[in-house]
Structure 1
Amino acid sequence: MEEKILNTKKNGMPVMLLCILLYVAAILGIVFGGINLDKGRMIGLALFIPGIVWVALGWIPFCGLKVLKPQEALVLTLFGKYIGTLKGEGFYFVNPFCTGINPAAATKLSQSGDVDNSQNNLLGVLTNANSANAAAVQAAENGKKISLKIMTLSNSRQKINDCLGNPIEIGIAVMWRVVDTAKAVFNVDNYKEYLSLQCDTALRNIVRIYPYDVAPGVDTTGDGIADEGSLRGSSETVAMRIRDEIQSKVETAGIEILEARITYLAYAPEIAAVMLQRQQASAIIDARKMIVDGAVGMVEMALDRLSERGTVQLDEERKAAMVSNLLVVLCGNKDAQPVVNSGSLY
């Protein structure tokens, strides 16, 4: 379905003024026609009948008046046939029998900047029956407008297993907009629901490739080589892959995905406590390794300094005892409490 833009229809104001003038002329024709009919003049009939017909049917052209605000569009059909799309702000006049169509008009997505159709209170209390009919048609058309603004979709958090089988909870925010109104309306049943479903599907497809944290022997790029990709450490890459995956699915619906961002990432509650203990244990091991490396370096430096300067001559047994004591002091969790030997060293 090719989108056709109607650019030559911005003549709503002249048509509206013409219709109002014709209403005034019709009312005057009815008045003067009635006067002439009372006097028996046939010209009164020529004025009275057209005036009555216009007053009864003159509201129909008003149904062809369309007002669009910036970043709005209206897809028009005539007896089931697509005739074009109105885009851009302006006051338009189209065939009064054209109808706007938007299957997703009643669908509201989370945090979505949909077109606000709540301002259809329309002029308070309408006293004229014809004006009431035109207003009802106009209110229905307002609900068919399609927003071309950048909108945000924030679906509920999903529980997904990562590539290691660990259940995680993840949420994303997707920035999107409609770029082809014909595809959005005619290629899918409801483009908003379609987008929401494709976002959930793409999120599952990408998250299953990555581990939550860096894991050995995991290939996340598909090149057969293990890498250090992870959901927590490669969030930019993951978000880009999610965006590309969604875009490939919604291209047929005339939707452009501008950006996708991870808004929430955590282990599922059933394993969160266990994984926290695992992270704490890993941190303790890394800290211990650093402490031991530093202690060994300090002991080596002490022995080398003593040997170079000849301050104290120690045999292998005394060196071992010194190394043991220094390691206990440097690697212990608590402050050392030395015991002073007042006698001979031997």
Structure 2
Amino acid sequence: MEIQEVRAWRTSGFLGLGALLLGLFWAGWALKEGSAEREALYLFHLIGGLLLAGLAGAGLITVQPNEARVLTFLGRYVGSVREAGFHYVNPFTVKKRVSLRVHNFNSDRLKVNDAHGNPIEIAAVVAWRVVDSAKALFQVEDYASFVAIQSETALRALASRYPYDGEEKSLRGNPEELAEELKGEVEARLKVAGVEVLEARLTHLAYAPEVAQAMLRRQQAQAVVAARKLIVEAAVGMVKEALMGLEAEGIALDEERKAAMVNNLMVALVSEAQAQPVINAGTLYT
């Protein structure tokens, strides 16, 4: 059966404190005024005063800001006190503290395989807080440990659904979107424990050491290919504009000279080495 947080009965702690002082005064009076002739009567007053003081003292609690006291009576949950201050509650209840403050969970670096099967290292930080003290205490064995395990499970599941890098949606290329997705998945897992997730973000993302060098070389090769493609496309456009400019000026070239010009321009524009001019001094006839 799922337990929901409810408000427990409480009253001002100063009323309980007054009852405590009254009980002590009553017991002290019985000790001072007691006599052998009326021993039974004064024993009654002494026990009554001590009992009143004990019940009053057992029900006094203080609740700090962003804290809750969960009360149970004979194994049954009877409510929680969230209001900060000095309170008096049912003295026969067991009172347990639950922090409502914001906590950070920093995961270890997990080694998982991404969607392409490449081993990667990934870690995340999750900011969370308890919003239902009853669920946090009674629905799971240890809510702090539950948060840690479920957060790491959600992180592993996220990493296995997307590649490390690529043109499609990836861990490296879409960190903001994946952070929101991770937050939603962790929050869905922690709902049973009465925990709210405020933020979840990746703090570490890298290829595993055994494949890091190979993956770096592959990334460098992909970058070189992309750069070459851009250079060639730009060079083709420049050569096309040069030919169109010559035709606009009325300079006609036969197909052989056009081919030679295109070849020379492409070599000059695409080559990484500085082009060396060659002067055509004519043809030597013998």
For this structure pair, what is the TM-score category when the shorter chain's length is used for normalisation?
Answer: 0.7 to 0.9
TM-score normalized by the length of structure 1: 0.73
* 2:117 maps to 1:165: yes
Matched residue, 1:202 = 154
Structure 1: gaps of 5 or more residues: 101-143, 216-227
1:67 to 62, 65, 70: 62
User: CA, structure 1 residues 164+345, in 2 after alignment: closer, same or farther (shift >3 Å)?
Assistant: farther
Matched residue, 1:317 = 256
Deviation by residue 1:138-179 (Cα, 9 ceiling, x = unmatched): xxxxxx311122322221121110111001111122222222
1:73 Cα deviation from its structure 2 partner: 0.8
Aligned pairs for 1:11-50 (under 5 A) are 11-33=12-34, 37=35, 42=37, 46-47=41-42, 50=45
User: Quick check: 269-278 or 242-251, which moved more?
Assistant: 242-251
1:339 to 269, 278, 283: 278
Matched residue, 2:238 = 298
Give the aligned length.
284
User: CA, structure 1 residues 275+287, in 2 after alignment: closer, same or farther (shift >3 Å)?
Assistant: same
User: CA, structure 1 residues 4+326, in 2 after alignment: closer, same or farther (shift >3 Å)?
Assistant: closer
Deviation by residue 1:4-25 (Cα, 9 ceiling, x = unmatched): 5335413211111231243234
Asked whether the 8 Å contact 2:3–2:138 carries over to 1, the reply is no
Asked whether the 8 Å contact 1:30–1:52 carries over to 2, the reply is no
The one-letter code matched in structure 2 to 1:329 is A
Asked whether the 8 Å contact 2:19–2:56 carries over to 1, the reply is no
Structure 2: gaps of 5 or more residues: none
The one-letter code matched in structure 2 to 1:72 is E
Secondary structure at the residue paired with 1:263? strand
Matched residue, 1:6 = 7
Q: Distance in 1 between matches of 2:47 and 2:72?
A: 31
The one-letter code matched in structure 2 to 1:167 is P
Matched residue, 2:175 = 235
User: CA, structure 1 residues 4+230, in 2 after alignment: closer, same or farther (shift >3 Å)?
Assistant: closer
Matched residue, 1:83 = 78
Larger proportion of strand: 2
1:335 Cα deviation from its structure 2 partner: 1.7
User: CA, structure 1 residues 279+171, in 2 after alignment: closer, same or farther (shift >3 Å)?
Assistant: same
TM-score normalized by the length of structure 2: 0.87
Deviation by residue 1:276-330 (Cα, 9 ceiling, x = unmatched): 111111111111111111111111211221222134x433222222222211111
